[in-house]
């Protein structure tokens, strides 16, 4: 690990925001059960910590959807590497994503999941880069709005490194 990483969002800021998101989601879903769908791999850290702060019942499932290779720019090709284990028909679904930038992956995914007849479907992301948006994706819950920088940590990686950092950082010199 020779790259220099500058802290963008501290571990304390992440923890505080997770508590706030958990409270808001719990309030919005009062009396319901949330079926959380984690977008692998980056969303795992966020979903696990977020789910611990939600007071209504939750169930979990996972999808692996990608539009990135080992680079830092989206390839534009979206593919499902792992689909859901359970049907979402009639469920209140909350998609949990680590970061949304162009919105292409989530636009495609939301279209697929809506056709599976959930009761409701909402989107929660840890990080949002609205200035990169190419597709109109409604994000219901946002942890942090960030500038157009390449970030790592708290589930986000650079060539599979740095996911385990407890904060969100910018890798110096990476485009």
- Catalytically active residues are 101
Six-digit token string for 40 = 């692998």
Closest to 58 measured CA to CA, from 46, 67, 47 = 47
Take residue 3 and report the two structure tokens written for it.
């790259």
Closest CA to 102 of 139, 155, 143, 61: 139
Question: What is the four-CA torsion angle of 110, 115, 119, 121, rounded to 10 degrees?
Answer: 0
């Amino acid at each position: 690990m020779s790259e220099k990483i500058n802290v963008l969002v501290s571990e304390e800021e992440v923890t505080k925001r997770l508590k706030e998101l958990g409270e808001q989601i719990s309030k919005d879903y009062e009396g319901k059960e949330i079926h959380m769908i984690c977008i692998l791999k980056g969303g795992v850290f966020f979903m696990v910590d977020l789910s611990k702060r939600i007071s209504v019942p939750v169930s979990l499932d996972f999808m692996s959807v990608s539009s990135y290779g080992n680079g830092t720019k989206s390839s534009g090709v979206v593919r499902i590497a792992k689909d859901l284990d359970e049907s979402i028909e009639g469920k209140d679904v909350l998609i949990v994503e680590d970061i949304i930038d162009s919105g292409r992956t989530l636009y495609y995914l939301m279209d697929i999941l809506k056709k599976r007849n959930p009761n409701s479907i909402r989107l929660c992301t840890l990080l949002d880069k609205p200035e990169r948006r190419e597709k109109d994706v409604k994000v219901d819950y946002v942890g942090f709005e960030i500038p157009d920088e390449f970030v790592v940590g708290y589930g986000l990686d650079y060539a599979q490194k740095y996911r385990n950092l407890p904060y969100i950082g910018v890798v110096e010199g990476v485009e």
